[in-house]
Amino acid sequence: MAENSFRKKKRGFEIFQSLEKTVSLNAEQRLPGGEVAVRYLPNLLFLVGLAILYIGNVHYGEQMIRETTKMENEVENFRSDYASLKAKYDSYTGKQINIAESAKKIGLQESKGRVQKITVK
């Protein structure tokens, strides 16, 4: 007889063919054509769903880590800005000469002598 040239085996890697070779199933678990039973399909779909949830969870976690790192950098920048502005403000308002100049504007003078205690009856 002549060989049927219409049905040629595909060369290459096929997932289900390799799965059928690696998983040994009894004759009762196979369909008459030798294919894997359809009753494994819900379990397979469940595993695929879990894999999709896992991938989504990993993606969400990485996104949150990126956002947290960005926010930490912003907070550190704001903290350094605050510290430098506070030091500049404190150095300006805290010196005695600056206070004396401010007091001179409203007519007060700095005392050159000893401090005197005033008592009121």
120 part of a folded domain: no
Domain that holds residue 27: 16-102
- What gap in Å lies between CA 72 and CA 66, rounded to an integer? 10
Does residue 100 contact residue 110 with C-beta atoms inside 8 Å? yes
- What gap in Å lies between CA 46 and CA 43, rounded to an integer? 5
- What gap in Å lies between CA 117 and CA 53, rounded to an integer? 78
- What is the average pLDDT score of the chain? 79
7 part of a folded domain: no
Domain count, the chain: 1
- What gap in Å lies between CA 92 and CA 99, rounded to an integer? 9
Strand partners, 36: 30
Q: Give the pLDDT confidence of 70-117 residue by residue, as tens digits.
A: 999 999 999 999 999 988 887 776 677 777 788 888 888 877 888 888
57 part of a folded domain: yes
Q: Which residues contact 104 (CB under 8 A, 6 or more apart)?
A: none
- What gap in Å lies between CA 18 and CA 12, rounded to an integer? 11
Q: Give yes or no for residue 51 having a pLDDT over 90.
A: yes
Q: Give yes or no for residue 63 having a pLDDT over 90.
A: yes
